Amino acid sequence: RALRDPHRPRFHFTSPGGWLNDPNGLSHWNGVYHLFYQYNPLAAAHHRIHWGHATSPDLVHWTDEPVALVPGTTGPDRDGCWSGVLVDDGGVPTLVYSGRHGEHELPCVARGSADLRYWTKDPANPVITAPPEGIDITAFRDHCVWREGEVWRQLVGSGIRGVGGTAFLYESDDLRSWRYVGPLLTGDASQNRGELDWTGTMWECVDLFRLGEDEEVGSTDVLVFSAWDEGTTHHPLYWTGRYQGDTFNPTALHRLDYGGRYFYAPQSTRDEHGRRIMFGWLQEGRTDEANAQAGWCGVMSLPRAVTLATDGGLHQTPVPELTGLRRERVEVAPGRLADPYTPLPAVRGDQLDIETTLRLAPGATARLVLRETPDGAERTVVEVSRAPDGASGTLRLRRETSSLDPTVDTELRHGALPLVPDGRVDLRVLVDHSALEIFANGRALTARIYPTRPDEAVGVGIGADGDAALERFDAWQMASAFTDGPRPLWP
């Protein structure tokens, strides 16, 4: 076991030790944010999953709470308490989650104490005893539950074999007895599997919400899911469209995060300020052996505020509360950017928040170099480009030189960048040891990087090919997010 793991983030939430995956039960309850998560406290491996729990007054500083759900010694969740949600059942906090036994996963319910610390499983679990009859399904798990008029409605993630991923709709008066309504929407899995918006053979962690709900007109419904196939986690996607009656009429399919599986199984909640807040799971990009040696793995994303973008997609940005972790600030003077890039000796670090505004002429590419060693052998590069015709753009994360360790994932990540006609790019980059979150004009790209000389890989630079200008550049060192002091570097 490594006595010191320099890849462990400090202002992203990680578990105290062991394995972490999906965010669960997200809620803002009497002024406190609750983050539950898929958790194996015993080892950095996905096995007999519990629900971990942490609370925060501000989405930034986190305190560990007792483990919320432990798999039963017998019963429907004896092999794991898989993903689910928290709802307010007339003042009683109630969890709906997937109990796993053998190869089966079925919906289970637990009631919480007023402080959301202690949970009692319902003796009637599982509350749905079998998937819909007569349908050949690929899987059946994960839940989205909401109140609609006098009834509860629930989506369970699934897939119809030979057709595609789906979400089954159910209805209930009491969260205990459920009537099957039908598939809300079904995808088409016959598309090329390699495509970055392939919808998969199963939809994990479906999340349905309305944006712009306070306005009479202009609201959009969003159905988020993670495309899965035969044990492989592909990427998070979302449909925009209209949820009405028992169906969802899609208008468009979008990629949620250009990092693909590095921002997986997201879940969102509407907080007490009316904001749509989303978290996702940052998977590791190193080997299972490296995770086991580190003794911890899995990172929770920073909380994102999600709103409607002018092009009909989602605009994502880290919540403003995160600025509370900013410490020393360094500013870089505006000017033209040089080819290929200029080191910025004043901006060094592996725990940084960088906010910059760039202006790209048609055909130009601007780059931000991060986590560079003094000899340049390791470096990670964020690139934003504008096509020669000026109309479209691309966001790229070049990780091929991010690590000299041949066992870590260094694949390129990229996606479309919306560019207003004047070529302006608002770029925000958060570097937290191995965790990297990039936001460019509201589009997100999340990934992991593992330099082999992490203490030396602290250089930052900025440059361009073609005609690009720097209009603003500010960088801050970031403090740790844990109220009980930083996570130990060894669990």
CA separation, residue 71 to residues 41, 64, 157 (Å): 12, 19, 21
Burial of 41 (0-12, 13-18, 19+ CB in 10 A): middle
Select from 442, 475, 447 the least CA-distant residue to 280.
447
Give min distance, CB of 83 to ligand DQQ, in A: 3
Question: Is the Cβ–Cβ distance between 164 and 198 less than 8 Å?
Answer: no
Q: Which residue, 17 or 461, is less far from ligand DQQ as judged by CB?
A: 17
Half-sphere exposure of residue 3: CA atoms within 13 angstroms, side-chain side: 0
The continuous run of DSSP H or E covering 185 comes out as strand 178-186
Report the alpha-carbon distance of residue 446 to residue 451 in Å, rounded. Answer: 16
Give min distance, CB of 375 to ligand DQQ, in A: 38
* 3-class secondary-structure state, position 199: coil
The continuous run of DSSP H or E covering 238 comes out as strand 232-244
Q: Which residue, 237 or 425, is less far from ligand DQQ as judged by CB?
A: 237
Give min distance, CB of 280 to ligand DQQ, in A: 10
Lateral strand order in the sheet of 151-160: 137-148, 151-160, 164-172, 178-186
Binding site for ligand DQQ (CB under 6 A): 21-22, 38, 49, 82-83, 98, 141-142, 204-205, 233, 264-265
Report the alpha-carbon distance of residue 299 to residue 434 in Å, rounded. Answer: 9
Give min distance, CB of 49 to ligand DQQ, in A: 5
Q: Which residues are catalytic?
A: 22
Q: Which residue, 165 or 454, is less far from ligand DQQ as judged by CB?
A: 165
Give min distance, CB of 158 to ligand DQQ, in A: 10
Q: Which residue, 82 or 296, is less far from ligand DQQ as judged by CB?
A: 82
Q: Which residue, 80 or 349, is less far from ligand DQQ as judged by CB?
A: 80
